[in-house]
Structure 1
Amino acid sequence: MPDDELSEVVRQRLRGLRQARGWSLDVLAARCDLSPSTLSRIETGPRRIDLDQLVALARALGTTIDHLVEPVDDADVIIRPVQHTEAGLTTWMLSRDPAERGGTHVAKMRITAERRTGPEHLSVHPGREWFTVISGTALLHLGERQIRVETGEAAEFSTMIPHSIAALDGPVEILTMFDREGERAHSA
């Protein structure tokens, strides 16, 4: 990314963070020992941003220099999920590093009748799981209960309850979110 483009992105981020906090130029300027006019020129572009100013602004805004200067391109937006297939279950991971989202994974799953779902295939692990049915009907085995979850409906449950998700009356596609413990269980 050319320097001019990066400078404009940094300026937009500074202005956006200030406005998101509801701060005026005067308030932010006081927090980082700059004059309001200098801060205004930094945000609008005529003034070059010095490294010491960027450090002070990042600190005052509760962020890091890395976040302010992070490049903007399609690689940081587009995820190209890799398909993982086993008997009756195809999974596409739709998230990157879960540590950035508090340990949450997002995945699309396609479940067919071939998936083993009897009592011996129920899993238990710390955490919570949430899913919504994109198409078809899911059968959620949750302890002794069997719960139908139709297209457009969602379910959320403690993963400390023995559980599994099966397809009912044909394939089912779900979008699911689960924590790190759930990721280990789903990939095992």
Structure 2
Amino acid sequence: MYRYISEQGFKTPAIINSLKIFVRDFKDVSSVSATKLNSEEIASALEIHSLQWHPTKDSSKIQKEFKFNSFKETFAFMGSISKVAEEMHHYPKWTQKENVVNVEVSTSDCSGVSVKDILLAYTMDQLALEITNTQIISVCDSPKVVDSQILNTWNQNFSKTEEILQNLQKNTAQL
């Protein structure tokens, strides 16, 4: 993270502030204003949350392919995400074939990528990780991840980034 900030010239807290939303419940997401992120903000948001998602060439969507070990895991993932998406009132576009799910997310309200998409992508990554670390016996199984844990970690990522930025600014000022 430190290398990214120094190499990319991540100089201003304005980018962090344009990306920062603190939510306590996925139901709160529907009330968040959907502002279209530019390509720099998308890249920064993906970096802040260590997401391996890829923006489309026109930066109107972010996308990722999830591969699972079994159809049961794949179905458990899709079921878990469906629950969260319903709470958020924010839905991914996906295709599924066997053990692979290809996902695209964007926000129609702003005709591009918003913080809502980054949060949904982050949540998908967390649930996919939990599913691969959990023995899924039935397609109806869900991971035991608690929504508040995902949201707390999401919120902490902003705080960590702000700390790194402040330390970088202090070190730069001392030079």
**Which bracket does the TM-score occupy, shorter chain normalised?**
under 0.3
With structure 1 as the length reference, what TM-score do the two structures score?
Answer: 0.23
- Higher normalized strand content (fraction of residues): 1
More helix by share: 2
Structure number with higher relative contact order (C-alpha < 8 Å, ≥ 6 residues apart):
2
The structure whose Rg is larger is: 1
Query: TM-score scaled to structure 2, two decimals?
Result: 0.24
